[in-house]
Amino acid sequence: MEIHIDGWKNNLIFSSAHFLPDYSQCSHLHGHTYAVHVTLEGEMEKGIVIDFRIVKKKIREILNELDHKVIIPTEGKLEIKKGEEVEVEYNGKRYIFPRDDCVFLPIYSSSAENIASYILKKFTPAIEKNNIKKIKIGVDEGFGQGAWAEWRR
């Protein structure tokens, strides 16, 4: 049995700024309102796979960490200096942000693909029950375009 939660319709959204240094137009600082979708597959227990409220609560906790922040990937090519301010340099560009405005993610870049993988990695341990066999997290960068990451038991 599969269950689906649509991020747009269930207000599982967050707004963040980012840039992708390796991609021409996306290398400029810009932002998105993202929506996060969840698909869970598993065996039913007591008539349900999992309580939708549990899933949405955990996703919202993760999204609250990302909302209205500049996403700074720490595993890629960026030179990052952290202090009261955060200085980010790459390929001749230099950005300075207030530290409170930044979130540092252990990902290569802040693409939708990597953000989906990050959310999946944070979400899975909280939801990992014996009856759950597959978890998919989708991250849209706007209506109709996004990326999906998947975990299977």
102, 139, 99, 132: which is closest to 118 by C-alpha? 139
Neighbouring C-beta atoms of residue 109, cutoff 10 Å: 21
Whether the pLDDT of residue 20 is over 90: the answer is: no
Higher local confidence (pLDDT), 1 or 22: 1
Element (H, E) at 54: helix 52-66
pLDDT 10s digits, 28-84: 789 999 999 999 999 999 999 999 999 999 999 999 999 999 999 999 888 999 999
Does 3.40.50.620 match the CATH number of domain 2-71+110-152? no
pLDDT average, residue stretch 108-126 = 95
The predicted structure's pLDDT at residue 77: 85
What pLDDT is stored for residue 130 in this prediction? Answer: 84
Residues marked active site are found at 26, 68, 141
pLDDT band at 11 (very low <50, low <70, confident <90, very high): very high
Q: What is the pTM of this model?
A: 0.94
Per-residue pLDDT at 113: 96
- Give yes or no for a contact between 116 and 147, defined as CB atoms under 8 angstroms apart: yes
| Three-state secondary structure call for residue 56 | helix
pLDDT at 23 over 70: no
- What are the pLDDT digits (tens) for 71-112? 999 998 889 999 999 999 988 889 999 999 999 999 999 999
With a cut of 80, say whether residue 26 has pLDDT above it.
Answer: no
